[in-house]
Amino acid sequence: MSSLLLTGATGTLGRAVDSLAVPGETRTLSRRAAPAGLAGASWAQGDLATGEGLDAALEGVDTIIHCATRPRGGDARMTRILVDAARRSTTPPHIVYVSIVGVDRIPLAYYREKLAAEDVVESSGLRFSIQRATQFHNLVFSVVASQRRMPLVLTPSIRVQPIDVHYVADQLLALARTGMAGRMPDIGGPQVVRASDLARATLKSLGTQRPVVPVLLPGAVFAAFRAGHNLAPGNRLGTRTYDDFLAGLPV
Ligand SMILES: NC(=O)c1ccc[n+]([C@@H]2O[C@H](COP(=O)([O-])OP(=O)(O)OC[C@H]3O[C@@H](n4cnc5c(N)ncnc54)[C@H](OP(=O)(O)O)[C@@H]3O)[C@@H](O)[C@H]2O)c1
């Protein structure tokens, strides 16, 4: 029987965790119904916004890896609902929560929400691990690719340290398996690079030529990015660079 409940299992990070887990190790939590052939212990339909299905999903679970997110807001509330359900379990599980480097120093609305969700986890009374990571390669790629038909591509004049999502997934599984508790050191990818350089590399890989214009944006958010609060230069995980990621994309 699965003893590890994976929220956000259908998302970018959740899929990576699932792909690295031992078959049968995880139980997916999703709002969607189980795909044909995947019902039973390995899939639980549930909604973190309402709490529906959570008690059944948590039956027999000793660890939760919590990757579900709603970028338009609501992560703290979803995390509160999850934690409350976990505390009702006969044996309250260890919760591993993934967050983002700089959530406490970069005043973006989504980051404030993540910080509030961290607080919910820390004050839950459950055994917890919190792992902050920098941006995934996939996110950088999709942000740039969405601008590929614009006459020029604007990038903030900041540095980033993108990470392969599988290294983050591996780290979360390690925390789940070893039971290591507390706030872990921040992790980032192997290189700290200018966002504009990543944009140029992305456009090249898409076979598109567009001028890339780094812009100096005003305000506290970009001041915090420019100060490098989004980086974890002392903890570079893995060797797979953004160029390696691009080279591995299907042609
Ligand atoms: N993307 C990055 O660069 C990055 C960097 C560092 C940390 N992180 C963190 O990593 C985590 C995962 O990010 P991601 O990019 O993999 O997310 P994602 O691809 O957007 O996936 C979101 C997941 O959340 C689930 N979800 C949303 N609302 C739900 C609800 N009401 N009930 C149950 N599940 C719900 C969705 O599942 P269903 O639709 O199947 O229900 C989906 O699997 C987030 O906490 C994010 O902050 C991301």
CA distance 19 to 200: 30
Cβ of 117 below 6 Å from ligand 1: no
| Number of CB atoms found within 10 A of residue 151's CB | 7
pLDDT number for residue 154:
93
pLDDT tens for each residue of 201-211: 999 999 998 99
Query: Which amino acid would we find at residue 212?
Result: V
CATH 3.30.1360.100 describes domain 4-247 = no
pLDDT number for residue 2:
54
135 CA → ligand 1 middle, Å: 13
Cβ of 136 below 6 Å from ligand 1: yes
CA distance 75 to 81: 10
CA distance 86 to 100: 23
As a whole number, mean pLDDT of residues 84-113 equals 97
Q: Domain ranges in the chain?
A: 4-247
pLDDT tens for each residue of 118-132: 999 999 999 999 999
Cβ of 30 below 6 Å from ligand 1: yes
pLDDT number for residue 43:
94
Return the structure tokens found at 171: 């780290």
For residue 160, give the nearest of 112, 109, 222, 72 by alpha carbon. 222
| Tokens 């409350």, located at residue | 84
Cβ of 89 below 6 Å from ligand 1: no
Task: Identify whether the C-beta of residue 230 lies closer than 8 Å to the C-beta of residue 106.
Answer: yes
pLDDT number for residue 180:
85
Ligand 1 pocket test, pick from 19, 26, 43, 67 with the greatest ligand atom count within 8 Å of Cβ, gives 67
Burial 4-17, CB ≥16 within 10 A → b, else e = bbbbbbbbbbbbbb
Task: Identify whether the C-beta of residue 83 lies closer than 8 Å to the C-beta of residue 95.
Answer: yes
Whole-prediction pTM:
0.97
Transcribe 78-96 into DSSP letters. Answer: HHHHHHHHHHHSSSPPEEE
Tell me what the pLDDT averaged over the chain comes to: 95
Confidence of residue 181 (pLDDT cuts 50, 70, 90): confident
13 CA → ligand 1 middle, Å: 7
Return the sign of the alpha-carbon dihedral for residues 121, 122, 124, 125.
positive
139 CA → ligand 1 middle, Å: 12
Name the closest-CA residue to atom 40, ligand 1: 30
Question: What are the C-alpha distances in Å from 157 to residues 58, 151, 198?
Answer: 44, 19, 12
Axis-axis angle for helices 75-88, 109-122 (nearest 10): 20
| Tokens 């038909």, located at residue | 149
Return the sign of the alpha-carbon dihedral for residues 68, 164, 37, 95.
negative
Name the closest-CA residue to atom 11, ligand 1: 67
Closest ligand 1 atom to 16 CA: 16
As a whole number, mean pLDDT of residues 176-190 equals 95
Q: Is the pLDDT of residue 41 over 80?
A: no
102 CA → ligand 1 middle, Å: 18
Q: Is the pLDDT of residue 39 over 80?
A: no
Ligand 1 pocket test, pick from 5, 6, 13 with the greatest ligand atom count within 8 Å of Cβ, gives 13
Q: Is the pLDDT of residue 1 over 50?
A: no
Return the structure tokens found at 63: 């660890």
Return the structure tokens found at 17: 């965790």
Cβ of 188 below 6 Å from ligand 1: no
